[in-house]
Amino acid sequence: MRLALVNTNRMRPPIAPIGLDYVAEVLSAAGHVVALLDLCWEEDPGAAIARFFGGADLGLVGVTLRNTDDCGYTSRQSFLPELAGTVHTIRRCTGALVVLGGVGFSTMPEEALALSGADAGVWGEGEFVLAELANRIERGQEWRDLPSLVWRDSAGWRRNAPGAWPLEGLPPMSRSWVDNPRYFRQGGQAGFETKRGCPGECVYCADLVAKGNWTRVRPPAVVAEELLRLLEQGIDHLHTCDGEFNLPAWHALEVCRELVRRGLGEKLRWYAYCAPAPFSPELARAMRAAGCVGINFGVDNGDEGMLRRLGRGFAPEDILNATRWSREAGLAVMLDLLLGAPGESRDSLVRTVELMRQAKPDRVGVSVGVRVYPGTKLARRVASAERPEGLSGGGDASAPLFFLEPAVAPFAFQLLDGLIGDDPRFLFFDPARPERNYNYNANQRLVEAIQAGYRGAYWDILRRLDSPA
Ligand code: B12
Protein backbone atom coordinates (compact mmCIF):
# COMPACT_ATOMS: atom_id res chain seq x y z
CA MET A 1 0.00 0.00 0.00
CA ARG A 2 1.07 3.61 -0.57
CA LEU A 3 1.06 5.61 2.62
CA ALA A 4 2.32 8.90 3.96
CA LEU A 5 3.98 9.89 7.22
CA VAL A 6 3.93 13.50 8.40
CA ASN A 7 6.21 15.17 10.94
CA THR A 8 4.49 18.12 12.64
CA ASN A 9 7.36 19.26 14.88
CA ARG A 10 8.66 22.66 13.72
CA MET A 11 10.52 23.68 16.87
CA ARG A 12 13.95 25.36 16.63
CA PRO A 13 16.62 24.13 17.00
CA PRO A 14 15.18 21.20 15.05
CA ILE A 15 15.23 17.68 16.48
CA ALA A 16 14.84 14.85 13.97
CA PRO A 17 11.71 12.69 14.27
CA ILE A 18 13.52 9.45 15.05
CA GLY A 19 10.15 7.78 15.74
CA LEU A 20 9.11 8.36 12.12
CA ASP A 21 12.53 7.18 10.89
CA TYR A 22 11.90 3.86 12.69
CA VAL A 23 8.23 3.55 11.72
CA ALA A 24 9.02 4.26 8.04
CA GLU A 25 11.74 1.59 8.03
CA VAL A 26 9.37 -1.05 9.36
CA LEU A 27 6.54 -0.12 7.00
CA SER A 28 8.91 -0.30 4.07
CA ALA A 29 10.33 -3.65 5.23
CA ALA A 30 6.70 -4.90 5.36
CA GLY A 31 6.38 -4.09 1.66
CA HIS A 32 4.56 -0.75 1.81
CA VAL A 33 5.52 2.33 -0.18
CA VAL A 34 6.25 5.20 2.19
CA ALA A 35 6.48 8.92 1.47
CA LEU A 36 7.49 11.28 4.25
CA LEU A 37 6.45 14.92 4.55
CA ASP A 38 8.61 16.78 7.05
CA LEU A 39 6.84 20.01 7.96
CA CYS A 40 9.90 21.08 9.95
CA TRP A 41 11.47 22.28 6.72
CA GLU A 42 8.43 23.95 5.20
CA GLU A 43 7.89 27.67 5.39
CA ASP A 44 4.22 27.34 4.53
CA PRO A 45 2.93 24.02 5.93
CA GLY A 46 -0.54 24.43 4.39
CA ALA A 47 0.87 24.86 0.89
CA ALA A 48 3.33 21.99 1.45
CA ILE A 49 0.49 19.66 2.48
CA ALA A 50 -1.57 20.62 -0.58
CA ARG A 51 1.45 20.01 -2.84
CA PHE A 52 2.39 16.72 -1.20
CA PHE A 53 -1.10 15.18 -1.08
CA GLY A 54 -2.41 16.65 -4.35
CA GLY A 55 -3.48 13.71 -6.50
CA ALA A 56 -1.68 11.12 -4.34
CA ASP A 57 -3.49 7.82 -4.03
CA LEU A 58 -2.93 6.85 -0.40
CA GLY A 59 -4.38 4.19 1.86
CA LEU A 60 -3.19 5.65 5.13
CA VAL A 61 -1.65 8.80 6.60
CA GLY A 62 0.34 8.67 9.84
CA VAL A 63 0.92 11.93 11.69
CA THR A 64 3.41 12.23 14.53
CA LEU A 65 3.08 14.48 17.57
CA ARG A 66 6.32 14.52 19.58
CA ASN A 67 5.44 17.36 21.95
CA THR A 68 1.93 18.31 23.08
CA ASP A 69 3.52 21.50 24.44
CA ASP A 70 6.92 22.81 25.49
CA CYS A 71 6.36 21.84 29.15
CA GLY A 72 7.52 25.26 30.35
CA TYR A 73 5.69 26.76 33.32
CA THR A 74 6.76 30.22 32.17
CA SER A 75 6.22 29.65 28.41
CA ARG A 76 3.30 27.20 28.07
CA GLN A 77 3.25 26.92 24.29
CA SER A 78 0.82 24.22 23.22
CA PHE A 79 1.21 22.49 19.85
CA LEU A 80 -2.24 20.91 19.85
CA PRO A 81 -4.00 23.77 17.97
CA GLU A 82 -1.31 23.52 15.25
CA LEU A 83 -1.82 19.74 15.11
CA ALA A 84 -5.57 20.24 14.67
CA GLY A 85 -4.94 22.69 11.81
CA THR A 86 -2.54 20.26 10.13
CA VAL A 87 -4.98 17.33 10.36
CA HIS A 88 -7.83 19.46 8.98
CA THR A 89 -5.68 20.53 6.03
CA ILE A 90 -4.63 16.91 5.36
CA ARG A 91 -8.28 15.87 5.44
CA ARG A 92 -9.15 18.45 2.80
CA CYS A 93 -6.50 16.91 0.52
CA THR A 94 -7.07 13.17 0.98
CA GLY A 95 -9.79 10.74 1.97
CA ALA A 96 -7.24 8.31 3.46
CA LEU A 97 -7.50 7.20 7.07
CA VAL A 98 -5.56 9.60 9.33
CA VAL A 99 -3.80 7.98 12.29
CA LEU A 100 -1.92 9.82 15.02
CA GLY A 101 1.05 8.62 17.04
CA GLY A 102 4.15 9.82 18.87
CA VAL A 103 5.20 10.25 22.47
CA GLY A 104 3.32 13.57 22.87
CA PHE A 105 0.21 12.01 21.40
CA SER A 106 0.55 9.03 23.73
CA THR A 107 0.46 11.25 26.84
CA MET A 108 -3.11 12.27 26.00
CA PRO A 109 -4.47 10.27 23.05
CA GLU A 110 -8.17 10.92 23.49
CA GLU A 111 -7.69 14.68 23.86
CA ALA A 112 -5.43 14.87 20.79
CA LEU A 113 -7.88 12.83 18.70
CA ALA A 114 -10.88 14.88 19.82
CA LEU A 115 -9.14 18.16 19.12
CA SER A 116 -7.71 17.16 15.73
CA GLY A 117 -10.54 15.03 14.38
CA ALA A 118 -8.12 12.26 13.28
CA ASP A 119 -9.65 8.81 12.81
CA ALA A 120 -7.58 6.85 15.30
CA GLY A 121 -4.23 6.76 17.09
CA VAL A 122 -1.58 4.35 18.23
CA TRP A 123 -0.55 4.56 21.87
CA GLY A 124 3.16 3.92 22.52
CA GLU A 125 5.46 2.35 19.95
CA GLY A 126 4.17 2.53 16.42
CA GLU A 127 6.21 0.20 14.22
CA PHE A 128 4.33 -3.06 14.63
CA VAL A 129 0.80 -1.68 14.87
CA LEU A 130 1.10 0.69 11.93
CA ALA A 131 2.53 -2.03 9.69
CA GLU A 132 -0.27 -4.40 10.68
CA LEU A 133 -2.85 -1.64 10.22
CA ALA A 134 -1.57 -1.01 6.69
CA ASN A 135 -1.68 -4.76 5.97
CA ARG A 136 -5.27 -5.04 7.19
CA ILE A 137 -6.50 -1.98 5.30
CA GLU A 138 -4.85 -3.29 2.15
CA ARG A 139 -6.63 -6.64 2.56
CA GLY A 140 -9.92 -4.98 3.48
CA GLN A 141 -9.87 -6.59 6.93
CA GLU A 142 -11.18 -5.27 10.24
CA TRP A 143 -8.47 -3.32 12.11
CA ARG A 144 -10.16 -1.87 15.18
CA ASP A 145 -9.08 -4.82 17.31
CA LEU A 146 -5.34 -4.06 16.87
CA PRO A 147 -3.38 -3.73 20.14
CA SER A 148 -2.53 -0.22 21.37
CA LEU A 149 -5.12 1.36 19.09
CA VAL A 150 -7.14 4.32 20.36
CA TRP A 151 -10.39 4.87 18.48
CA ARG A 152 -13.97 5.90 18.93
CA ASP A 153 -17.30 4.16 18.51
CA SER A 154 -20.80 5.29 19.40
CA ALA A 155 -20.15 4.51 23.06
CA GLY A 156 -17.08 6.79 23.23
CA TRP A 157 -13.29 6.40 23.25
CA ARG A 158 -11.71 2.96 23.26
CA ARG A 159 -8.12 2.17 24.14
CA ASN A 160 -7.18 -1.38 23.17
CA ALA A 161 -4.79 -3.20 25.50
CA PRO A 162 -1.15 -2.42 24.61
CA GLY A 163 0.84 -4.95 22.64
CA ALA A 164 4.26 -6.22 23.66
CA TRP A 165 6.80 -6.66 20.89
CA PRO A 166 10.40 -7.70 21.45
CA LEU A 167 12.63 -5.11 19.79
CA GLU A 168 14.72 -7.94 18.30
CA GLY A 169 11.85 -8.12 15.78
CA LEU A 170 12.73 -4.74 14.26
CA PRO A 171 14.64 -4.67 10.96
CA PRO A 172 18.08 -2.96 10.86
CA MET A 173 17.54 0.80 10.84
CA SER A 174 19.08 2.64 7.87
CA ARG A 175 18.26 6.06 9.37
CA SER A 176 17.67 7.28 5.86
CA TRP A 177 13.96 8.15 5.90
CA VAL A 178 14.47 11.49 7.59
CA ASP A 179 17.00 14.07 6.38
CA ASN A 180 19.32 13.38 9.32
CA PRO A 181 22.30 15.30 7.82
CA ARG A 182 20.17 18.44 7.57
CA TYR A 183 18.94 17.98 11.14
CA PHE A 184 22.56 17.55 12.17
CA ARG A 185 23.60 20.78 10.46
CA GLN A 186 20.74 22.79 11.94
CA GLY A 187 20.03 20.87 15.15
CA GLY A 188 23.57 19.86 16.11
CA GLN A 189 22.90 16.20 16.96
CA ALA A 190 21.02 13.00 16.08
CA GLY A 191 19.21 10.63 18.42
CA PHE A 192 19.60 6.89 18.98
CA GLU A 193 17.60 4.51 21.09
CA THR A 194 18.98 1.55 23.06
CA LYS A 195 15.84 0.71 25.05
CA ARG A 196 12.20 1.65 25.55
CA GLY A 197 10.04 2.04 28.64
CA CYS A 198 11.18 2.96 32.13
CA PRO A 199 10.63 0.95 35.32
CA GLY A 200 10.81 4.13 37.45
CA GLU A 201 7.89 5.29 39.55
CA CYS A 202 8.27 9.06 39.36
CA VAL A 203 4.89 10.52 40.27
CA TYR A 204 4.85 13.16 37.50
CA CYS A 205 6.43 11.24 34.62
CA ALA A 206 5.04 11.42 31.09
CA ASP A 207 7.18 8.47 29.91
CA LEU A 208 5.28 6.14 32.16
CA VAL A 209 1.90 7.08 30.72
CA ALA A 210 3.21 7.32 27.14
CA LYS A 211 5.45 4.23 26.95
CA GLY A 212 4.66 2.01 29.92
CA ASN A 213 6.87 0.83 32.76
CA TRP A 214 8.18 -2.35 31.16
CA THR A 215 11.63 -2.13 29.63
CA ARG A 216 12.38 -3.43 26.13
CA VAL A 217 16.07 -3.48 25.26
CA ARG A 218 17.70 -3.49 21.84
CA PRO A 219 20.58 -5.84 21.10
CA PRO A 220 23.84 -3.85 21.48
CA ALA A 221 25.11 -5.02 18.07
CA VAL A 222 22.00 -3.59 16.41
CA VAL A 223 22.52 -0.26 18.18
CA ALA A 224 26.15 -0.17 17.01
CA GLU A 225 25.13 -0.91 13.40
CA GLU A 226 22.64 1.96 13.51
CA LEU A 227 25.30 4.34 14.80
CA LEU A 228 27.52 3.29 11.90
CA ARG A 229 24.71 4.21 9.47
CA LEU A 230 24.62 7.70 11.03
CA LEU A 231 28.40 8.03 10.96
CA GLU A 232 28.32 7.20 7.25
CA GLN A 233 26.09 10.27 6.87
CA GLY A 234 28.69 12.42 8.66
CA ILE A 235 26.78 12.48 11.95
CA ASP A 236 29.06 12.03 14.93
CA HIS A 237 27.31 13.90 17.79
CA LEU A 238 24.37 12.06 19.30
CA HIS A 239 21.94 11.93 22.20
CA THR A 240 20.29 8.82 23.63
CA CYS A 241 16.52 8.64 23.20
CA ASP A 242 15.98 6.16 26.06
CA GLY A 243 14.02 7.21 29.12
CA GLU A 244 17.17 6.56 31.19
CA PHE A 245 20.23 4.98 29.56
CA ASN A 246 21.30 3.19 32.77
CA LEU A 247 18.00 1.47 33.53
CA PRO A 248 18.92 -1.36 33.46
CA ALA A 249 22.64 -0.72 34.10
CA TRP A 250 23.75 -4.15 32.78
CA HIS A 251 22.37 -3.28 29.35
CA ALA A 252 24.06 0.14 29.38
CA LEU A 253 27.36 -1.60 30.08
CA GLU A 254 26.81 -4.09 27.26
CA VAL A 255 26.03 -1.32 24.78
CA CYS A 256 29.19 0.54 25.82
CA ARG A 257 31.35 -2.59 25.45
CA GLU A 258 29.94 -3.20 21.97
CA LEU A 259 30.67 0.37 20.88
CA VAL A 260 34.24 0.02 22.18
CA ARG A 261 34.62 -3.34 20.43
CA ARG A 262 33.62 -1.67 17.13
CA GLY A 263 36.08 1.19 17.65
CA LEU A 264 33.22 3.70 17.87
CA GLY A 265 34.45 5.23 21.12
CA GLU A 266 36.93 7.45 19.28
CA LYS A 267 34.61 8.32 16.42
CA LEU A 268 31.48 9.36 18.29
CA ARG A 269 30.62 11.97 20.89
CA TRP A 270 27.35 11.19 22.59
CA TYR A 271 25.27 12.30 25.55
CA ALA A 272 22.80 10.44 27.72
CA TYR A 273 19.98 10.93 30.16
CA CYS A 274 20.75 8.81 33.24
CA ALA A 275 19.26 8.15 36.66
CA PRO A 276 21.66 8.88 39.57
CA ALA A 277 21.21 5.26 40.75
CA PRO A 278 22.08 2.56 39.94
CA PHE A 279 25.31 4.19 38.79
CA SER A 280 28.95 3.24 39.35
CA PRO A 281 32.49 4.37 38.55
CA GLU A 282 32.68 1.34 36.26
CA LEU A 283 29.67 2.49 34.21
CA ALA A 284 31.00 6.06 34.04
CA ARG A 285 34.35 4.81 32.69
CA ALA A 286 32.65 2.43 30.24
CA MET A 287 30.47 5.23 28.91
CA ARG A 288 33.44 7.53 28.45
CA ALA A 289 35.38 4.80 26.63
CA ALA A 290 32.38 4.28 24.34
CA GLY A 291 32.34 7.92 23.26
CA CYS A 292 29.97 9.42 25.79
CA VAL A 293 31.06 12.95 26.73
CA GLY A 294 28.22 14.16 28.93
CA ILE A 295 25.43 12.95 31.17
CA ASN A 296 22.24 14.71 32.11
CA PHE A 297 21.03 13.30 35.44
CA GLY A 298 17.36 14.03 36.09
CA VAL A 299 17.78 14.54 39.83
CA ASP A 300 14.71 16.76 40.40
CA ASN A 301 15.48 17.81 43.97
CA GLY A 302 18.23 17.70 46.57
CA ASP A 303 15.99 17.13 49.58
CA GLU A 304 15.55 13.58 50.82
CA GLY A 305 11.85 13.99 51.70
CA MET A 306 11.05 15.60 48.34
CA LEU A 307 12.85 12.81 46.45
CA ARG A 308 10.67 10.30 48.32
CA ARG A 309 7.51 12.29 47.58
CA LEU A 310 8.43 12.40 43.89
CA GLY A 311 8.78 8.62 43.83
CA ARG A 312 12.50 8.76 43.03
CA GLY A 313 14.44 5.68 44.06
CA PHE A 314 17.65 7.45 45.12
CA ALA A 315 19.00 9.71 47.88
CA PRO A 316 20.99 12.98 47.86
CA GLU A 317 24.15 10.91 48.45
CA ASP A 318 23.57 9.14 45.12
CA ILE A 319 23.51 12.51 43.34
CA LEU A 320 26.87 13.42 44.85
CA ASN A 321 28.39 10.05 43.94
CA ALA A 322 27.06 9.93 40.38
CA THR A 323 28.34 13.45 39.70
CA ARG A 324 31.78 12.73 41.19
CA TRP A 325 32.24 9.40 39.40
CA SER A 326 31.19 10.91 36.08
CA ARG A 327 33.50 13.88 36.37
CA GLU A 328 36.37 11.63 37.45
CA ALA A 329 35.77 9.59 34.29
CA GLY A 330 36.03 12.75 32.17
CA LEU A 331 32.31 13.27 31.53
CA ALA A 332 30.58 16.66 31.69
CA VAL A 333 27.58 16.64 34.03
CA MET A 334 24.26 18.41 33.98
CA LEU A 335 21.90 18.03 36.96
CA ASP A 336 18.27 18.71 36.06
CA LEU A 337 15.95 20.02 38.77
CA LEU A 338 12.16 19.95 38.83
CA LEU A 339 11.09 22.21 41.69
CA GLY A 340 7.71 23.15 43.10
CA ALA A 341 6.09 19.71 43.35
CA PRO A 342 3.67 18.98 46.23
CA GLY A 343 5.48 19.27 49.57
CA GLU A 344 8.16 21.72 48.38
CA SER A 345 9.20 24.17 51.10
CA ARG A 346 11.64 27.01 51.66
CA ASP A 347 13.95 24.52 53.40
CA SER A 348 13.86 21.97 50.57
CA LEU A 349 14.67 24.70 48.02
CA VAL A 350 17.61 25.93 50.10
CA ARG A 351 18.86 22.38 50.66
CA THR A 352 18.61 21.64 46.94
CA VAL A 353 20.72 24.61 45.87
CA GLU A 354 23.26 23.70 48.59
CA LEU A 355 23.46 20.11 47.35
CA MET A 356 23.94 21.30 43.77
CA ARG A 357 26.90 23.43 44.87
CA GLN A 358 28.31 20.53 46.88
CA ALA A 359 27.98 18.16 43.89
CA LYS A 360 29.96 20.54 41.61
CA PRO A 361 28.38 19.61 38.29
CA ASP A 362 29.16 21.51 35.10
CA ARG A 363 25.61 22.77 34.77
CA VAL A 364 22.37 22.73 36.78
CA GLY A 365 19.02 23.13 35.05
CA VAL A 366 16.43 24.87 37.22
CA SER A 367 12.83 24.23 36.26
CA VAL A 368 10.07 25.49 38.53
CA GLY A 369 6.46 24.29 38.20
CA VAL A 370 5.55 20.71 37.32
CA ARG A 371 3.64 19.68 34.20
CA VAL A 372 0.68 17.52 35.24
CA TYR A 373 -0.10 14.70 32.78
CA PRO A 374 -3.35 12.77 32.82
CA GLY A 375 -2.93 9.30 34.28
CA THR A 376 0.05 10.11 36.54
CA LYS A 377 0.08 9.73 40.32
CA LEU A 378 0.61 13.47 40.49
CA ALA A 379 -2.56 14.12 38.49
CA ARG A 380 -4.54 11.88 40.82
CA ARG A 381 -3.08 13.61 43.83
CA VAL A 382 -3.51 17.25 42.81
CA ALA A 383 -6.95 16.65 41.36
CA SER A 384 -8.16 15.23 44.68
CA ALA A 385 -10.44 17.42 46.74
CA GLU A 386 -7.88 18.22 49.43
CA ARG A 387 -5.43 19.80 47.07
CA PRO A 388 -6.98 21.75 44.25
CA GLU A 389 -4.87 24.88 44.82
CA GLY A 390 -1.50 25.20 43.10
CA LEU A 391 -2.90 24.20 39.70
CA SER A 392 -2.87 26.52 36.70
CA GLY A 393 -3.84 26.07 33.06
CA GLY A 394 -5.77 23.05 31.93
CA GLY A 395 -8.98 24.88 31.00
CA ASP A 396 -9.01 23.04 27.69
CA ALA A 397 -6.78 20.44 26.02
CA SER A 398 -4.56 23.11 24.47
CA ALA A 399 -3.79 24.86 27.80
CA PRO A 400 -1.18 22.70 29.53
CA LEU A 401 -1.84 21.97 33.21
CA PHE A 402 0.85 22.83 35.79
CA PHE A 403 1.27 22.53 39.52
CA LEU A 404 3.33 24.82 41.74
CA GLU A 405 3.27 24.16 45.47
CA PRO A 406 1.23 27.04 46.97
CA ALA A 407 3.46 27.06 50.08
CA VAL A 408 6.41 28.31 47.97
CA ALA A 409 4.68 29.88 44.95
CA PRO A 410 4.74 33.47 46.29
CA PHE A 411 8.53 33.50 46.73
CA ALA A 412 10.10 30.49 44.96
CA PHE A 413 11.49 32.37 41.95
CA GLN A 414 12.86 35.23 44.06
CA LEU A 415 14.35 32.88 46.65
CA LEU A 416 16.10 30.83 43.97
CA ASP A 417 17.44 33.98 42.31
CA GLY A 418 18.91 35.06 45.63
CA LEU A 419 20.42 31.64 46.37
CA ILE A 420 21.90 31.19 42.90
CA GLY A 421 23.02 34.75 42.27
CA ASP A 422 25.19 35.02 39.18
CA ASP A 423 26.66 31.50 39.43
CA PRO A 424 27.02 30.75 35.69
CA ARG A 425 26.54 27.01 36.21
CA PHE A 426 22.79 27.47 36.80
CA LEU A 427 20.48 27.56 33.76
CA PHE A 428 16.78 28.41 33.92
CA PHE A 429 13.87 26.90 32.01
CA ASP A 430 12.75 30.40 31.20
CA PRO A 431 12.70 32.19 27.82
CA ALA A 432 12.52 35.55 29.65
CA ARG A 433 16.24 35.05 30.48
CA PRO A 434 17.68 34.35 27.02
CA GLU A 435 21.32 34.24 28.20
CA ARG A 436 20.61 31.46 30.74
CA ASN A 437 17.59 29.82 29.14
CA TYR A 438 17.63 26.05 28.66
CA ASN A 439 14.09 25.77 27.35
CA TYR A 440 14.95 24.47 23.87
CA ASN A 441 11.74 25.75 22.30
CA ALA A 442 12.59 28.65 19.96
CA ASN A 443 16.01 28.98 21.56
CA GLN A 444 17.69 31.50 19.26
CA ARG A 445 20.98 31.42 21.17
CA LEU A 446 21.29 27.71 20.38
CA VAL A 447 20.14 28.14 16.79
CA GLU A 448 22.95 30.63 16.21
CA ALA A 449 25.56 28.56 18.05
CA ILE A 450 24.73 25.49 15.94
CA GLN A 451 24.87 27.62 12.80
CA ALA A 452 28.33 28.69 13.93
CA GLY A 453 29.41 25.04 14.19
CA TYR A 454 28.63 23.96 17.77
CA ARG A 455 27.45 20.35 18.11
CA GLY A 456 26.21 18.18 20.97
CA ALA A 457 23.67 18.24 23.80
CA TYR A 458 22.10 21.65 24.12
CA TRP A 459 23.05 22.17 27.76
CA ASP A 460 26.65 21.39 26.80
CA ILE A 461 26.57 23.83 23.90
CA LEU A 462 25.29 26.48 26.34
CA ARG A 463 28.11 25.55 28.72
CA ARG A 464 30.73 25.91 26.01
CA LEU A 465 29.26 29.24 24.90
CA ASP A 466 29.65 30.53 28.45
CA SER A 467 33.12 29.15 29.05
CA PRO A 468 34.95 28.91 25.73
CA ALA A 469 37.92 26.53 25.91
C1 B12 B 1 15.76 12.28 24.14
C2 B12 B 1 14.70 13.34 24.38
C3 B12 B 1 15.03 14.67 24.13
C4 B12 B 1 16.36 15.09 23.50
C5 B12 B 1 16.29 14.74 22.00
C6 B12 B 1 17.57 14.20 21.47
C7 B12 B 1 17.47 13.77 20.02
N8 B12 B 1 18.47 14.10 19.27
O9 B12 B 1 16.52 13.15 19.60
C10 B12 B 1 16.38 16.62 23.79
C11 B12 B 1 17.14 16.87 25.07
C12 B12 B 1 16.97 17.50 22.70
C13 B12 B 1 14.89 16.90 24.03
C14 B12 B 1 14.32 18.14 23.89
C15 B12 B 1 12.98 18.39 24.14
N16 B12 B 1 12.09 17.59 24.71
CO17 B12 B 1 12.41 15.71 24.92
N18 B12 B 1 12.55 13.89 25.16
C19 B12 B 1 13.43 12.97 24.86
C20 B12 B 1 12.95 11.54 25.18
C21 B12 B 1 13.69 11.02 26.41
C22 B12 B 1 13.10 10.55 24.03
C23 B12 B 1 12.37 10.96 22.74
C24 B12 B 1 12.65 9.98 21.63
O25 B12 B 1 13.22 10.34 20.63
N26 B12 B 1 12.30 8.69 21.82
C27 B12 B 1 12.61 7.60 20.91
C28 B12 B 1 11.62 7.48 19.74
C29 B12 B 1 11.93 6.28 18.88
O30 B12 B 1 10.35 7.31 20.32
P31 B12 B 1 9.09 8.15 19.88
O32 B12 B 1 9.47 9.47 19.35
O33 B12 B 1 8.15 8.11 21.02
O34 B12 B 1 8.48 7.32 18.67
C35 B12 B 1 7.83 6.10 18.87
C36 B12 B 1 6.34 6.21 19.21
O37 B12 B 1 5.97 7.42 19.81
C38 B12 B 1 5.63 5.95 17.93
N39 B12 B 1 5.41 7.01 16.97
C40 B12 B 1 6.11 8.12 16.72
N41 B12 B 1 5.58 8.80 15.69
C42 B12 B 1 4.53 8.11 15.27
C43 B12 B 1 3.60 8.36 14.24
C44 B12 B 1 2.57 7.46 14.02
C45 B12 B 1 1.60 7.73 12.95
C46 B12 B 1 2.44 6.30 14.83
C47 B12 B 1 1.32 5.38 14.65
C48 B12 B 1 3.36 6.06 15.86
C49 B12 B 1 4.39 6.97 16.07
O50 B12 B 1 6.47 5.01 17.31
C51 B12 B 1 7.84 5.40 17.53
C52 B12 B 1 8.72 4.19 17.52
O53 B12 B 1 8.29 3.25 18.45
C54 B12 B 1 11.43 11.80 25.46
C55 B12 B 1 10.80 10.87 26.48
C56 B12 B 1 10.62 9.48 25.89
N57 B12 B 1 11.02 8.48 26.61
O58 B12 B 1 10.16 9.32 24.76
C59 B12 B 1 11.39 13.26 25.87
C60 B12 B 1 10.14 14.12 25.56
C61 B12 B 1 9.57 13.67 24.22
N62 B12 B 1 10.61 15.48 25.48
C63 B12 B 1 9.75 16.29 25.90
C64 B12 B 1 9.91 17.71 25.80
C65 B12 B 1 8.84 18.56 26.45
C66 B12 B 1 11.00 18.27 25.14
C67 B12 B 1 11.21 19.77 24.86
C68 B12 B 1 9.97 20.46 24.32
C69 B12 B 1 11.71 20.44 26.15
C70 B12 B 1 12.02 21.91 25.99
N71 B12 B 1 11.04 22.79 26.12
O72 B12 B 1 13.16 22.24 25.76
C73 B12 B 1 12.35 19.71 23.82
C74 B12 B 1 11.82 19.64 22.38
C75 B12 B 1 12.90 19.57 21.33
C76 B12 B 1 12.32 19.54 19.92
N77 B12 B 1 12.93 20.27 19.01
O78 B12 B 1 11.34 18.86 19.67
C79 B12 B 1 8.55 15.63 26.51
C80 B12 B 1 7.27 15.78 25.68
C81 B12 B 1 6.07 15.80 26.58
C82 B12 B 1 4.86 16.35 25.90
N83 B12 B 1 4.11 17.12 26.64
O84 B12 B 1 4.60 16.12 24.77
C85 B12 B 1 9.06 14.15 26.70
C86 B12 B 1 8.00 13.07 26.62
C87 B12 B 1 9.79 14.12 28.07
C88 B12 B 1 8.89 14.23 29.24
N89 B12 B 1 8.76 13.19 30.00
O90 B12 B 1 8.31 15.22 29.55
N91 B12 B 1 14.23 15.78 24.32
> What CATH number is associated with residue 139?
3.40.50.280
Q: What is the pLDDT of residue 315?
A: 98
- Tell me, yes or no, whether 167 lies in a domain: no
> Does pLDDT of 469 surpass 80?
no
Percent of the chain scored above 70 by pLDDT? 99
- Residue 171 within any structural domain of the chain: no
The atom of ligand 1 lying closest to the CA of 12 is 77
Distance 404 CA to ligand 1 centre (A): 24
Mutate which of 77, 241, 246, 295 for ligand 1? The one with the most ligand atoms within 8 Å of its CB, which is 241
Q: What is the pLDDT of residue 387?
A: 55
Which of 77, 103, 125, 193 is the pocket-test mutation for ligand 1 (most atoms within 8 Å of CB)?
103
pTM of the complete model: 0.98
Q: Is residue 173 part of a domain?
A: no
Over residues 347-352, mean pLDDT: 98
Q: At what angle do helices 458-466 and 444-451 cross, to 10 degrees?
A: 80
Mean pLDDT of 297-323: 98
What local confidence, expressed as pLDDT, does residue 386 receive? 62
Q: Are residues 184 and 155 in the same domain?
A: no
pLDDT at 468: 74
The pLDDT of residue 43 is above 60: yes
Q: Which pLDDT tens digit goes with each residue over 154-164?
A: 999 999 999 98
122 and 249 housed in the same domain: no
* 239 touches ligand 1 (CB under 6 Å): yes
- Is pLDDT at 304 greater than 80 in this prediction? yes
Q: Say what the pLDDT of residue 395 is.
A: 82
Which domain CATH number covers 210?
A: 3.80.30.20
Looking at every residue in the chain, the average pLDDT score rounds to 97
Distance (Å) from CA 196 to ligand 1 centroid: 12
Work out which ligand 1 atom sits closest to the CA atom of 438. 72
Determine if ligand 1 sits within 6 Å of the CB of residue 9: yes
Q: Is the pLDDT of residue 57 over 70?
A: yes
Pocket test residue of 8, 38, 67 for ligand 1, highest count of atoms within 8 A of CB: 67
Q: Could you report the per-residue pLDDT of 76-132, keeping only the tens digit for each?
A: 999 999 999 999 999 999 999 999 999 999 999 999 999 999 999 999 999 999 999
Q: Is the CB of 439 under 6 A from ligand 1?
A: yes
Report d(CA 231, CA 297) in Å as an integer. 26
Closest residue by Cα to residue 16 from 237, 169, 198, 288: 237
pLDDT at 289: 98
Q: Which residue minimizes the CA distance to atom 63 of ligand 1?
A: 67
Summarize pLDDT for 229-280 with one digit per residue, the tens: 999 999 999 999 999 999 999 999 999 999 999 999 999 999 999 999 999 9
Q: Is the pLDDT of residue 15 over 60?
A: yes
Total tally of structural domains belonging to the chain: 2
Residues 119 and 259 in one domain: no
Q: Which residue range forms the structural domain that includes residue 94?
A: 2-159
Residue with CA at minimum distance from ligand 1 atom 51:
19
Q: Read off the pLDDT of residues 381-420 as tens digits, 9 standing for 90 and up.
A: 987 766 578 999 998 888 999 999 999 999 999 999 999 9
pLDDT single digits (tens) 172-221: 999 999 999 999 999 999 999 999 999 999 999 999 999 999 999 999 99
How close is the Cα of 161 to the center of ligand 1, in Å?
22
For residues 206 and 328, state if they share a domain: yes
Per-residue confidence (pLDDT) for residue 385, from 0 to 100: 60
